[in-house]
């Protein structure tokens, strides 16, 4: 049974992997045997994470690019594919959030969030899938959100991007499935990441999360890695177009 969850011999690119959920998924995939390519915009932080994985016996490298820059992103996928046995797993995880009341929400900020959280997932998937088609095997995993299916005020661009991401996921699942490539989404609930640090410290919001989550707490980033490994592995070979919610039960009780 353990072989079903093995990623030995696989190469995985995880965007936004220098911290938070991306870092957790990269660690878990490296522990499962994959060579993980960590992406971010800053070489110094990525180099430290790669060293940490190697120190525990894992295989890792890094690729510095901004996912919102299409030319950079596509070139990076090509370079990774050429320098390895080809990309097997793509985790579209990089994302940003902009919070503002609607009356003050600038169109430029809306567009910026969509470009990073949604459009980049499209062109990275388009670039990565070609090698997967040749292999007849591939995994595309998109970090969605519980906001893919529910709403929350002051983050319209984030919610729109995450809802759109699941539409993209299902479309790619339908098109790429015949080639042996699955495409699925992970919907994290509220995890205590660097991105959410201010919210964790906000007593009112912290109480909201703990009260509305049946498990009574925020998620720990380490609790997302197993879901990513599952979707990337042969254990999930018949899971396609699915949204795997990892939220402590929150959306089931909203």
Cβ(231)–Cβ(141) under 8 Å?
yes
Q: What is the DSSP letter of 184?
A: E
Name the residue with tokens 């430029």: 108
Residue 12 to residue 231: CA distance in whole angstroms? 12
Strand partners, 14: 38, 91
Residue 151 near residue 251 (C-beta atoms within 8 A)? no
Distance CA(197)–CA(205), nearest Å, equals 11
Element (H, E) at 197: helix 197-201
Rounded distance, CA 114 to CA 200, Å?
25
Active-site residue set: 158
CA distances from 179 to 21, 128, 168, 173, 247 (A): 29, 13, 17, 10, 31
Q: Which two tokens stand for residue 51?
A: 């060293």
């Amino acid at each position: 049974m353990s072989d079903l969850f093995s990623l030995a011999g696989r190469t995985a690119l995880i965007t936004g992997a220098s911290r938070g959920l991306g870092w957790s998924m990269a660690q878990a995939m490296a522990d499962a045997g994959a060579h993980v390519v960590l992406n971010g915009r800053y070489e110094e932080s990525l180099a430290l994470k790669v060293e940490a994985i190697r120190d525990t016996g894992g295989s890792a490298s890094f690729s510095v690019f901004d996912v919102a820059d299409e030319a950079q992103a596509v070139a990076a996928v090509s370079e990774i594919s050429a320098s390895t046995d080809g990309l097997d797993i793509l985790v579209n995880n990089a994302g940003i959030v902009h919070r503002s009341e609607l009356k003050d929400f600038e169109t430029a900020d809306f567009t910026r969030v969509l470009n990073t959280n949604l459009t980049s997932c499209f062109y990275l998937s388009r670039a990565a899938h070609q090698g997967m088609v040749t292999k007849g095997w591939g995994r595309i995993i998109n970090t969605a959100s519980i906001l893919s299916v529910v709403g929350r005020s002051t983050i319209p661009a984030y919610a729109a991007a995450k809802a759109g991401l699941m539409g993209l996921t299902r479309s790619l699942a339908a098109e790429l499935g015949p080639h042996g490539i699955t495409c699925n989404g992970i919907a994290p609930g509220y995890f205590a990441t660097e991105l959410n640090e201010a919210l964790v410290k906000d007593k009112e919001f912290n109480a909201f999360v703990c009260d509305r989550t049946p498990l009574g707490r925020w998620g720990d980033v380490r609790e997302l890695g197993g879901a990513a490994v599952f979707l990337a592995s042969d254990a999930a070979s018949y899971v396609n177009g699915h949204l795997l919610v990892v939220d402590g039960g929150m959306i089931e009780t909203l």
